[in-house]
A = this chain, B = another copy of it.
Amino acid sequence: MRTRVVIADDHAIMREGLKSLLEKKGVDVIGIAKNGREAIELAISAHPDVVMMDISMPDLNGMEATATIRQKVPDTKVIALSMHSSKHIIDKMFTSGASGYILKESAFEELYDAIKEVNKGNFYLTPSIARMYVDYDGNMVKALGDLPVSKEISKKEREVLQMVAEGEKTRDIAEKMSVSIKTVESHRRNIMKKLCIFSIAGLTKFAIKEGIISL
């Protein structure tokens, strides 16, 4: 039986392009949503096998829409389609009940694979991201359900992050916080590990996105 899919994305060109590609592969695109709210309505009324869910959408984002769909239509699986590869977001997406996560940078073939896998009841994770969840021996670090790995950064780390993103040097941060340079370095390192962001530029962007600093 043909797989029945709903596409949710705020960009029309992306929706239409993806529809075209999926139909070439014999996938039935039975619905199109331009925000999370529409996606929920479609999932409830049409009971698709899979929803391809963009995360950043106006009105109601993909994260919340996923949670609602999984709750109201448990048979419908959700694959997150994202621009971002931040662990933070991925964790949230899986705890919201997504069965797959792929990047828009991924080739379409990968997206197609993801649909097939998820439709079989499996999970799918973009290979480049899967590494984050795997230790050196190749074992899953955590089961994909109970990820307390969504490491929220601590209070002090947040303080340091803010000052780093504001362009302060380690020495000045240490002074302002009345701790040693080593401590600030420790914090910065831990922040980077937790967020999987390994540059000042990246931390700055993260801080802006999270509202820790403003532009």
Question: Within A24-42, which residues are at the interface with B (CB < 8 Å)?
Answer: 24
Instruction: Check if A11 is an interface residue, CB within 8 A of chain B.
Output: yes
* A116 contacts chain B at the CB level, 8 A cutoff: no
Q: Majority SS of interface residues in chain A?
A: helix
Number of this chain's copies in the assembly equals 2
Interface window among A128-136, A183-191, A203-211: A203-211
Can you offer 28 A-B residue contacts whose CB atoms are under 8 A? A11-B104, A11-B105, A12-B106, A12-B107, A13-B14, A13-B17, A13-B18, A13-B105, A13-B106, A13-B107, A13-B108, A13-B111, A14-B14, A14-B17, A16-B108, A17-B17, A17-B21, A164-B201, A165-B201, A166-B201, A167-B197, A167-B201, A167-B202, A169-B199, A200-B200, A200-B201, A201-B203, A201-B204
